[in-house]
Chain A
Amino acid sequence: MIKFFLMVNKQGQTRLSKYYEHVEINKRTLLETEVIKSCLSRSSEQCSFIEYKDFKLIYRQYAALFIVVGVNDTENEMAIYEFIHNFVEVLDDYFSRVSELDIMFNLDKVHIILDEMVLNGCIVETNRARILAPLLILDKMSDS
């Protein structure tokens, strides 16, 4: 099960956070700081999975942006690792060339996309067309 989904940049600034179990606001920032610290301390010869407290962190770096997913013991690390990439591909498709700025200026849309893909910590959709369909309709309707 996915416990949280984070996008944090190298400076330690959170660009997106989504928790699938309730965590109090002040504890979130602490957790995020520690999580990004542990990701930054990794070298390229270390694997993309880290033990952290009760969970495993699975991370992937895109430019200066880290996407970190916290999962519990039942998850398949590699499946999550690829899921992150799938998510980025969806973003890339929607924003056609996604950058950190796209994510910042469209925080709501990124959340809407993520909500299509993960619910209650479960991966519920990975089909790119189906993930984007609801959002594209919303865009279309608010345009007209």
Chain B
Amino acid sequence: MSDIVEKTLTALPGLFLQSQSASGPAAAKASFSSRLGGLVRGITALTSKHEEEKLIQQELNNLKATVSAPNTTLKMMKECMVRLIYCEMLGYDASFGYIHAIKLAQQGNLLEKRVGYLAVSLFLHESHELLLLLVNTVVKDLQSTNLVEVCMALTIVSQIFPREMIPAVLPLIEDKLQHSKEIIRRKAVLALYKFYLIAPNQVQHIHIKFRKALCDRDVGVMAASLHIYLKMIKENSSAYKDLTGSFVTILKQVVGGKLPVDFNYHSVPAPWLQIQLLRILGLLGKDDQRTSELMYDVLDESLRRAELNHNVTYAILFECVHTVYSIYPKSELLEKAAKCIGKFVLSPKINLKYLGLKALTYVIQQDPTLALQHQMTIIECLDHPDPIIKREVLGEYSYLLGKETPEEVITKLYKLLTSDSISSETKAWIIAAVTKLTPQAHSSNIVERLIQEFTTSLDTCLRQHAFELKHLHENVKFMKGLLPVDKSCEDMVVDASLSFLDGFVAEELSQGAAPYKPHHQRQEEKLSQEKVLSFEPYGLSFSSSGFSGRQSPAGISLGSDISGNSTDTGLKETNSLKLEGIKKLWGKEGYLPKKESKTGDETEALPVPQENIIMENVDQIITKKDQSQVLTQSKQEKEKQLLASSLFVGLGSESTINLLGKADTLSHKFRRKSKVKETKSGQTTTAQNMTRSSFSSSSNVTYEEDYYLDNLQDRGDKEVKKFSLNSELLDSESLTELPLVEKISNCRLSTPSLFADNNMEVFHPPQSTAASLANEISLASSLLEETTEHMHSDLMEVCDNETISVSSYKIWKDECLLMVWSVFNKSASELKSANLEIAPAENFKITEQPGCCLPVIEAESTKNFQYSVQMEKPFTEGNLSGFINYQVMDTHSVQLEFSVNLSLLDFIRPLKISTEDFGKLWLSFANDVKQNVKMSESQAALPSTLKALQQELRLHVVDIIGNEGLLACQLLPSNPCLLHFRVHGDMLALWFRSSCSTLPDYLLYQCQKVMEGS
């Protein structure tokens, strides 16, 4: 806390100055605008909830007076709105200001207006009566000639708008779909999406326009339309099958890098757009072989392409795997996807592991054998400190059952139980899992042993689970009924009112138990008792929320939820209750597990009904539960799924997604009939659109150019340079999690090395001190004589002190990279036992060249140390560090450290092949990347482009045919990469192919840098 306050206080004067100078000359206004500063300062200095309350109440009183005062200017009003937003954000009602927010939106000038709209969107909800007062302002702004105002109006409409007033603005918004500016078209589409969400029938007539938006020449507009399509396809996928081809084409273009570069995120092309498209494809291809076949290619490409080592590519891969496993299966793709998941599961990064385990559940549903290879990892994950990981894992196990006998699995789990390294929480999970498996197992020795051991366990939770198992095990027939393997659960009825507990509750009440209080009531009481509570340490209420939720091990156990929760709330008489509860509920009609877990949920809801805190409406909760129940029912046809869902609520919810689709297709068969007419009339336009989209795909070039032109316009006067540099700085994965401020300063510090990554050091003379420069040049030239046939970098000083100066340069030999370190003895005396050592590096093999260790370096002379460097594993940037030590006057020894950056480019060599060989190789390579690059003016002619590529990237020019060129290079020791390019206008279409997956992406990146022509 204190450091924050400190920072705040030191920063405040500057910030005040800023806001004062911005707010104009009027002194009164300046002092007023610092009110926000005062509030912010007050908030940062808070130490308790009580203080906060005092501060905000005072603030609210001030605000109340100011907003209603007649002489309050709009500028002041804007300030007030921000302060009101603050108060509401901290949880204090500021409803007196709502009407003023609407007024500000109405009367304000641009930024004031925007803040007015913002306040409205934050303060009001969809059905707030004041919202109607906004409609006129919106209509006026939609008709404004000022595009900024139009944008604001469209934004507010897509956030919050009264349903009944849609007709008032709909024609205006439809008009905007034809607007010349992409931003207006895009926001109009998003506004229509909002209308589709709140009143789908009102926008039914403009479905054709949605298709137009999908085919818009601007990426942003197209992407916006995908939100509408995802929603519509979720509801009725069969009506949009004809668009599959278009979605596939779009995804292909995105994956192939056809989008303008500023859509890239960490050099991955529009990742969120890719994910959106993959989702849509997953829905379209579900249970539909013909449609699925259309997308196999692009899915394969996506799996192949996303190999860049960045989180966001894993997000894409995950989505891709999900899609592959949602659509009609193709074994080749399934295998590739499973392999891909393997990488996730084995990753040491915990987020990836989680993603992998989640994805594994998709895999296992299709083919358990594919997951068997990950069994060990799965078992290891069982004792992971993170409960969310454990949950995924136990779900896996029930699926694996398909191939292994229950006995085998039980034996495995038992072994785990007896291991000491496992926490008791995990053990509780395992016993619960054993319980599920027991009815299917034929021999029960292990189960009996387990019961014996754990009914005497000191751990209450374990003991309870073991007792459950014991009781159930005593009545095998009953247990089998309780946990059926192949029963469909369609006729399941849930007693949501929990009436079966009434008797018990009455009995307890009569014995003096406290009556039930809803969660919020308890919370309020607690708060009123101690107001400072929420800023206290978090131990107490955390444990209850942690254990009442799904994460609780009790949550998965058989009917133990009752007891589980009561342990939390401190009731004691639970052991006897538990089995009675089960009997009463399940004794009658043959025991359905969903019913049982349902009851579990409901029981949980009793003590902690705030489960759905976000849905304040109880009806909503019930409908939601009902829905999920229906879905779960239809899903439980398979025994594996059945087991899993009773094991894991969370896992069940994962598979619910798939089911959603199924259930939907059913219900929509009826709906479709009523829509037949409409679909027919739509079909003609569809055909048109299809031709259009296929046209655009066949002539990629024009399409892309459109993207480019648009993009260039939109950029306006934005400093593109600044962007690219900044992203460069933020790029490094290791920096991402650093504190905000520190992160940037770090980047600043390491700027030289970042430039080195850009290979400036390689191709441009480095800055060195004038004194040593002359010396170095002469040095370099003397060295050149023996190595003239090779290209080499300029000499760069890596370290120095008063005695010596060490410089290094790179010689790009045909078969390796030769690093030369020149040690120059500046002093007048000789240096003894000079020794230069290079630290072993992970990705390199470093070989010392003969004659490296020198006993003596004479005064004012230079000695060279040479090392040949081979790359062992492809990487993009690496660092070679080492040190030199020597002795002066036989007395003390001095050590100097240095390091040099190496990039993949250092290992790229020209590949001299014939055009025929090029052709053969071209076809044999699987990894490719395509991209259009704009050339700078100086490079606009083909020859200069070639020269640049030849020199900067060391590509060999194989052939030139008209305006096309073939180039080849290899990554040492022998990884060829081919480049085909075509010039049209000032655009250059690049196409890389290689057997190595990372190479094309990397070279493309380098090419782009060359083309940008620094």
**Contacts A22-B125, A49-B354; A115 near B118 (Cβ below 8 A):** yes
Nearest Cβ distance between residue A74 and chain B, in whole angstroms?
Answer: 7
A61 to B743, CA, bound (A): 13
Which of B88-96, B433-441, B767-775 touches A?
B88-96
List the A side residues contacting B723 at CB < 8 Å. Answer: 93, 128-129
- Residue contact A82 to B40, C-beta cutoff 8 Å: no
- Residue contact A33 to B534, C-beta cutoff 8 Å: yes
Interface membership of B730, Cβ < 8 A:
yes
- Residue contact B550 to A11, C-beta cutoff 8 Å: no
- Residue contact B312 to A22, C-beta cutoff 8 Å: no
List the B side residues contacting A12 at CB < 8 Å. Answer: 534-535
- Residue contact A99 to B740, C-beta cutoff 8 Å: yes
Q: In the complex, how many residues of chain A place their beta carbon closer than 8 angstroms to a beta carbon of chain B?
A: 94
Interface membership of B194, Cβ < 8 A:
yes
Instruction: Digitize A36-70: 1 where CB-to-B-CB distance is under 8 Å, 0 elsewhere.
Output: 01101101011111111111000011111100001
- Residue contact B37 to A108, C-beta cutoff 8 Å: no
Interface membership of B85, Cβ < 8 A:
yes
Q: Which one, A30, A73, A129, contacts B613 given CB within 8 A? A: A30
Instruction: Digitize B155-192: 1 where CB-to-A-CB distance is under 8 Å, 0 elsewhere.
Output: 10011000000000000000000000001001000100
- Residue contact A77 to B311, C-beta cutoff 8 Å: no
A30 to B197, CA, bound (A): 28
Q: Which one, B93, B155, B223, B534, contacts A115 given CB within 8 A? A: B155
**Which parts of A87-144 form the interface with B (CB within 8 Å)?**
88-89, 92-93, 97-101, 104-105, 107-108, 111-112, 115-116, 119-120, 122-130, 133-134, 136-139, 141-143
A114 to B193, CA, bound (A): 18
A47 to B315, CA, bound (A): 15
**Which parts of B110-139 form the interface with A (CB within 8 Å)?**
110-111, 114-115, 118, 121-122, 125-126
- Residue contact B148 to A53, C-beta cutoff 8 Å: no
**Contacts A53-B613, A54-B614, A127-B220; A89 near B194 (Cβ below 8 A):** no
Q: Which one, A105, A112, A137, contacts B37 given CB within 8 A? A: A105
Interface membership of B736, Cβ < 8 A:
yes
Interface membership of B811, Cβ < 8 A:
no
- Residue contact A40 to B715, C-beta cutoff 8 Å: no
**Contacts A29-B91, A73-B653, A79-B319; A40 near B538 (Cβ below 8 A):** yes
Interface membership of B7, Cβ < 8 A:
yes
A114 to B547, CA, bound (A): 34
List the A side residues contacting B263 at CB < 8 Å. Answer: 126-127
- Most B CB contacts (10 A, CB to CB) among A48, A65, A86, A126 go to A126
Interface membership of B296, Cβ < 8 A:
no
List the B side residues contacting A16 at CB < 8 Å. Answer: 89
- Residue contact B354 to A47, C-beta cutoff 8 Å: yes
List the B side residues contacting A65 at CB < 8 Å. Answer: 740
List the B side residues contacting A30 at CB < 8 Å. Answer: 523, 613
- Residue contact A130 to B272, C-beta cutoff 8 Å: no
- Residue contact B542 to A62, C-beta cutoff 8 Å: no
- Residue contact A52 to B549, C-beta cutoff 8 Å: yes
Complex: chain B residue closest to A17, CB-CB: B89
Q: Which one, A26, A60, A73, contacts B654 given CB within 8 A? A: A73
Instruction: Digitize B260-279: 1 where CB-to-A-CB distance is under 8 Å, 0 elsewhere.
Output: 00110100001111010000
Nearest Cβ distance between residue A50 and chain B, in whole angstroms?
Answer: 7
List the A side residues contacting B4 at CB < 8 Å. Answer: 9, 11, 64, 100
Interface membership of B870, Cβ < 8 A:
no
A-B contact pairs, 24 of them (CB 8 A): A4-B614, A12-B534, A12-B535, A13-B43, A29-B90, A41-B538, A43-B385, A48-B351, A51-B650, A54-B612, A54-B615, A62-B740, A64-B739, A77-B351, A78-B311, A79-B312, A82-B315, A86-B265, A93-B723, A112-B114, A120-B159, A129-B262, A130-B183, A133-B718
The 10 closest A-B pairs by CB, nearest first: A63-B739, A29-B91, A78-B315, A22-B125, A79-B315, A46-B386, A82-B312, A47-B350, A142-B111, A47-B354
